[in-house]
Amino acid sequence: MKNHPKTCSPAEFERVATKVSMVSIVGNLILSVFKALAGVIAHSGAMISDAVHSASDVFSSIIVIIGVRISAKASDDEHPYGHERFECVAAIVLSVVLFLTGLMIGIGAVRNIAGGDYQNLTVPGVLSLAAAFISIIVKEAMYWYTRSYAERYDSSALMADAWHHRSDALSSVGALIGIAAARMGFPVMDAVASLVICFFIAKAAYDIFKDAIDKMVDHSCEKETEAALLDCASSQQGVLGVDVLHTRVFGNKIYVDIEISADSSLSLAEGHQIAEQVHTAIEQQFPKVKHIMVHVNPSEVSVAAALPEQSEKTATKNS
């Protein structure tokens, strides 16, 4: 089973996400201005495209701040289950922005390639090479920095922003190769590099979009997590079996509906106590679980009769 992410209050997570996003905004503003100047001075279309990509990261970080701030709001009458899904909304918006950025870069590259007058294409200067190399180092560092917080707090919006940084680093790799090839006598490779950058960005946008959609449509959690939930519930005293287990991911939280079997001769209070045990055990062992509904089904098998078989008892899941 995967390590549990760090649990914290919505206010603390909002503070952390804002800090990470502000680092991204400042870094991207400096980097995009630097790359744009380098692209203009060194006559590199690939580097100018890369600068546009970095500038889009500023907008994406602002979306992360807004999305996390809304998702951190407490439950209210209109949203009794909280606002966690607004973080997924932010991730979806980021994926669309990322895709449109890649599309614009790709259209510009196709126009240059389709022009056909490769001999008159300007050979990029050495400054653009230096800018691409610096961009790779800076953006890869920003990717790992943002990703570390995304994994620590299980944040889809921060992870989307991290991949935005990684796609920028990959685009800079493409720009570096294209600029180097253009300087070696193949000017069209600068435009080809921009086209390759477009595909990298589109792939990252798709991955971010798919992950966010999965969390928006009550997708079940991982099979290994469900197996661990079954083991936890069935190991509690008085539980004769697990009849039904349903899970759904709500933003970055998990909701659990579980039906357990207990001795039918037990009193209502005793059955309720067993359900409370299951509820508490799952809540303590699985920090991502926000809500648990435990239903007790009567079983004709008594606890005494089940004890000799306790070591062989297996939980079953009905979909």
293: nearest Cα among 260, 252, 249: 260
Indicate the average pLDDT of the chain: 78
Task: Determine the Cα–Cα distance for residues 283 and 148; give it in Å rounded to an integer.
Answer: 25
In the chain, how many H helices and how many E strands?
A: 9, 3
Stretch among 84-93, 261-270, 286-295 having the lowest mean pLDDT: 84-93
Judge whether 241 and 17 are in contact, CB under 8 Å.
no
**Whether residue 6 has pLDDT greater than 80:** no
Task: Answer yes or no: CATH 3.30.70.1350 is held by domain 223-312.
Answer: yes
Q: Which tokens is 267 given? A: 């009193």
Average pLDDT over residues 268-276: 92
- DSSP class of residue 204 equals H
67: nearest Cα among 208, 203, 171, 166: 208
Judge whether 174 and 46 are in contact, CB under 8 Å.
yes
Judge whether 194 and 139 are in contact, CB under 8 Å.
no
Q: Please identify which residue in the block is written with the tokens 């089973």.
A: 1
- Shared fold status for 10-216 and 223-312: no
Provide the pLDDT confidence category of residue 218 given band limits of 50, 70 and 90: low
Strand, helix or coil for residue 1: coil
Q: Where along the chain do its domains lie?
A: 10-216, 223-312
Strand, helix or coil for residue 257: strand
Q: Please identify which residue in the block is written with the tokens 């008594």.
A: 302
Average pLDDT over residues 4-32: 78
* CA–CA–CA angle 121, 178, 102 (5° rounding): 95
What per-residue confidence (pLDDT) applies to 296?
A: 93
CATH number of the structural domain 10-216: 1.20.1510.10
Task: Determine the Cα–Cα distance for residues 101 and 117; give it in Å rounded to an integer.
Answer: 26
Amino acid at site 191: A
Burial profile 194-228: b = 16 or more Cβ within 10 angstroms, e = fewer: bbbbbebbbbbbebbbebbeebbeeeebeeebbeb
What percent of the chain is helix, strand and coil (3-state, nearest 5)?
70, 10, 20
- Say how many C-beta atoms besides its own lie within 10 A of residue 117's C-beta: 9
Provide the pLDDT confidence category of residue 251 given band limits of 50, 70 and 90: low
Task: Determine the Cα–Cα distance for residues 196 and 50; give it in Å rounded to an integer.
Answer: 12
Average pLDDT over residues 177-187: 77
pLDDT in tens, 75-130: 767 766 666 677 778 778 878 887 887 788 788 778 777 766 555 556 677 888 88
pLDDT in tens, 130-176: 888 898 999 899 999 999 988 888 777 788 788 778 877 877 887 78
Strand order in the sheet with 241-250: 241-250, 253-263, 289-299
How many Å from the N-terminal Cα to the C-terminal Cα in the chain? Answer: 22
